[in-house]
Each structure stands twice: as structure tokens, then as C-alpha cells.
Amino acid sequence: MQIFKFGGASVKDAAGVKNLGEIVASFGSQRLVIVVSAMGKTTNKLEDLVKQAHTGQDYAATLGELKDYHHEIAQELFGEIPESYLHFERSLENELKDLGECESMLAYDKIVPYGELMSTSIIAEYLNKQVNCKWFDARTIIRTDQYFTEANVDWVVTEKQVINLLKPVAEESVVVTQGFIGSDVEGNSTTLGREGSDYTGAILAYCLNAEGFTVWKDVPGILNADPRILEGAEQYEKLSYREVTEMTYYGAQVIHPKTLKPIAQKSIPLMVRSFQDKAKSGTTISTDNTTKMIPCFVFKGNQLLVTAQVKDHSFMDEKKLGLILQVLDLLNIKINLMQNSALTFSFCIDNKEFKSKRIKELLNRDFILSFESPLNLATIKNYTPDAFNKLPWNRTVIMEQKTANNYQVLYR
Ligand code: ASP
Ligand code: MG
């Protein structure tokens, strides 16, 4: 069994869906489970839609754009709009009317999954014309907690459901299912965090003991820098799970950070390949760590530096650090860089307004807080002396850290 994952960019129009069909056809009689994201930028559109509907604004125009976009793709593929798709459109419309008083995170998870439900209904319909293909509702197998918008997977229940419900279907036909979505114990839809479809692919690969997991992307493989930021980016042919885990830790957007652990646990090879250049083999990630690593550059914009200072003249000791870390853990916030001194602890995080508001609420009592944003964070993994010359010039350094292998700088 092989797992394929197609992101939004790969199915952003009818040509993309046809291309997906060609890729699937080229794998002939292989048993395939295909995980698909919402088409193009649909998730962003749904985020706008739920915000409007939830705050009582007129959302008709946004909904209209969403429908037109999918209708156009369906028209081009089928010359009509399939009922399997229209079913979700109607159900989305009903849910929007009904959002009323429900909590905003819950509302998000009611509405945003429709992107994946709609895309997979169209794609399954299309594939069914060339192979024996079944549409499968990921919410019936991926069980999560109720941490809406960034739900955590219940592995025990999920594995059982994948084996009992999905596996028998996948043994008979090609399966098309949704990335990014699951459901809680009460049957509410949940989402796994933005860009979470890779993670869904990894969950299914793990539970099905897949022979391989391929992520089809709009890049030729994994590169050592974002080519939009740095000229002359090079592609890796092979990488180890460990290297890629570290790259994602520093913010490289090669693959969703949670993807690596499940597939590494079972040594399932992960291939990152181009859906545009299907002949190229891309990057293979496995236990093999024999490749000599060239420096890898990761840039993260819109960073927030938070400095917490003690209120009396005691030290920023382990107890106080513990208090801060507990709050960050509670808010599901990842620290991108940190440093402590006698009286302060400074940490850099992704700049999200609602999270910094919560930090203020929870830490104001014990600390004097200051905030600076937007800042940039650059990381060079496996640096060489030459590598530093490639960093942007004329920057004001705010914080810097260097270990034997890695260099990080936060700058204005
Ligand atoms: N459609 C979701 C998003 O855009 C999930 C994904 O693409 O992986 O975040
Ligand atoms: Mg997406």
C-alpha cells in the first residue's frame, strides 16, 4: 500500500485534477490511499467565511466566490456539477445559518473542513471514471481531542478505526480521502492545524504500515533554502528523518512538522516529488544518514520577541522560568529562540495577536512584559564559514545564538 498526498496547489484547477489523474494512472495496479487538501486557497476563503458568518456580517459574496470556484472546476471536468459535491455545498449553507452562539474555535472546525470535503468529492468523482475509486470520510477514522483548530490525534482509537474501516476498502479500490480533518468523541468535526494534510498522510501511512508515503508538491523536492528568498537553492536527493525533523523545527516549510515522527517510527520512506515534473524522483527521506549535509537556510518573518522581567529584584530562576514555560505550553505556543539573563527571559515566537493577548493575561501578574514585532529570524543549519555571507545585509541584530552546527539570528 502506498499513500499519496496532494496539496491545494496541485488541485487548484481542472488541469490540476487531470494531472492528479495521470499520476494515479501511472501507478497502475498499486494499492493507493490518496489524501487531498482543499483546492487552491479555499481554506483561506473558508476562514474569511466563518469569521463573517460568526460575527453576523453578510457572507453571501464570499460564499458565492467559493461556490463559483468549485463550479467552474466541476463544469470543466464533467460538464455539470456532481451531486456528491452539491451535497456538501448544501450542508455548508445550513451550517453557516446555524453558527449562532457557538464558540469561535468550534465554529471554525464546523466550517473549514468543507474545503477538503468539497475537493475530495470532485476528485473522487473524476478518478472514478478511470479507476475503481472510493470516496472516504476521514472524520470516521481520524479521532482527535477537542482542541478545536489544532486538535491532537487519539492514536489508539484512530489506529483501530483505520484498520477496521479504511483498510478493507483500500484493499479493494483506490481511496480518496481528506487531509487536515478529523472528529472528536461527540462527532464534531475538528482540524489538525493549518497545512495539516501532510500529517494526515503520515497517520494513515503509520496505521496501514504503508510501503511508502509520497507528498506531491510544486517544488522539485526539498531544497536547502526557499528559492524565493535565496538565489541558487540546491535540492537534496536524500535526507534522513532526523535532518528533516530538525529543518521543520527551525521553520522550514518543507513538510508539516508532525509528519516525521509517525513515519520514522515505522521506517516508512517519505518521498517529496514534483507534481509538475513527474519524471523526476525528488527527495527521499529515510533512515539513511550517509549524505554529507550542505548548509540549510531557514527564514521566518513576522516574529514576536517577548521579554519577561521579574518584578522584584530576585533572579529569573528555574521556578519563574517554569511558570512561563507552563503558560506557553498551555497556549500551544512554540518558542523559536530563547535567552535568559539575571532578571529577564526573552523568547521569540510566531506573531499571532490572539496568542500574545493570552500571554499578557496570564503572565502580567508576575512579570513586567515587553513586546517587539515584526522581526525576522534566520537559521543556518550545518553552517560553513561561507554560509554567513548569504544572510541579508544591513540588519540590526536583536539576538544571536551559535552552537557547533547551527546559527540563529533574530533581526530587525
Ligand atoms: N487545506 C488546509 C490548509 O490549507 C490543509 C492543508 O493544506 O494541508 O491549511
Ligand atoms: Mg493547503
Q: What is the DSSP secondary structure assignment for residue 143, as one 8-state letter?
A: B
Q: Tell me the mean pLDDT in the region 263-291.
A: 94
Q: What is the DSSP secondary structure assignment for residue 292, as one 8-state letter?
A: P
pLDDT of 248 above 70: yes
Which pairing describes strands 344-350 and 181-183: parallel, antiparallel, or unpaired? Answer: unpaired
Assigned CATH for 296-411: 3.30.2130.10
Rounded to the nearest angstrom, the distance between the alpha carbon of 7 and the centre of ligand 1 is 7
Does ligand 1 lie within 6 Å of residue 38's CB atom? yes
Rounded to the nearest angstrom, the distance between the alpha carbon of 225 and the centre of ligand 1 is 22
Does ligand 1 lie within 6 Å of residue 43's CB atom? yes
CA distance 389 to 378: 13
Query: How many alpha carbons lie under 13 Å from residue 105 in its C-beta half-sphere?
Result: 11
pLDDT of 347 above 70: yes
What confidence tier does 209 reach under pLDDT thresholds 50, 70, 90? very high
Q: Which ligand sits closest to the CA of 46? A: 1
Please name the residue that has the C-alpha cell 503520515: 202
CA distance 28 to 22: 10
**Which residues neighbour ligand 2 (ion) by CB within 5 Å?**
8, 37
What confidence tier does 395 reach under pLDDT thresholds 50, 70, 90? confident
Query: How many beta carbons lie within 10 A of that of residue 161, not counting itself?
Result: 17
Longest Cα–Cα distance in the chain? 73
36, 37, 118, 256, best to mutate for ligand 1 pocket (most atoms within 8 Å of CB):
37
What confidence tier does 28 reach under pLDDT thresholds 50, 70, 90? confident
Helical spans, DSSP H, in 250-352: 260-265, 318-330
Of the chain, the end-to-end C-alpha distance in Å amounts to 48
Least confident of 209-213, 237-241, 289-293: 289-293
Kindly report, as residue ranges, where domains of CATH 3.40.1160.10 are found in the chain. 2-286
269 cis-preceded (ω within 30 degrees of 0): no
Least confident of 70-79, 166-175, 230-239, 301-310: 230-239
Q: Tell me which residue has its CA closest to atom 6 in ligand 1.
A: 195
Q: Tell me the mean pLDDT in the region 387-398.
A: 85
149, 194, 217, 259, best to mutate for ligand 1 pocket (most atoms within 8 Å of CB):
194
Rounded to the nearest angstrom, the distance between the alpha carbon of 8 and the centre of ligand 2 is 5
Rounded to the nearest angstrom, the distance between the alpha carbon of 295 and the centre of ligand 1 is 29
Q: Tell me the mean pLDDT in the region 27-42.
A: 94
Instruction: Determine the pLDDT at residue 98.
Output: 83
pLDDT of 183 above 70: yes
Q: Which residues pair with 284 in a beta bridge?
A: 238, 271
Does ligand 1 lie within 6 Å of residue 197's CB atom? yes
Kindly report, as residue ranges, where domains of CATH 3.30.2130.10 are found in the chain. 296-411
Q: Which ligand sits closest to the CA of 9? A: 2
Q: What is the mean pLDDT of the chain?
A: 95
> In the chain, what percentage of residues exceed pLDDT 90?
89
Q: Which ligand sits closest to the CA of 200? A: 1
6, 50, 195, best to mutate for ligand 1 pocket (most atoms within 8 Å of CB):
195
What confidence tier does 393 reach under pLDDT thresholds 50, 70, 90? low
* CB-based contacts of 350, cutoff 8 Å, min separation 6: 300, 302, 303, 304, 334, 336
Least confident of 98-107, 157-166, 183-192, 351-360: 98-107
Q: Which ligand sits closest to the CA of 178? A: 1
Q: pLDDT: is 156 or 254 the higher one? A: 156
pLDDT in tens, 372-390: 999 999 999 999 999 998 8
For 2-286, the fitting CATH number among 4.10.520.10, 3.40.1160.10, 3.40.50.300, 3.40.50.1820 is 3.40.1160.10
Q: Which residues pair with 309 in a beta bridge?
A: 344, 368
Instruction: Determine the pLDDT at residue 102.
Output: 86
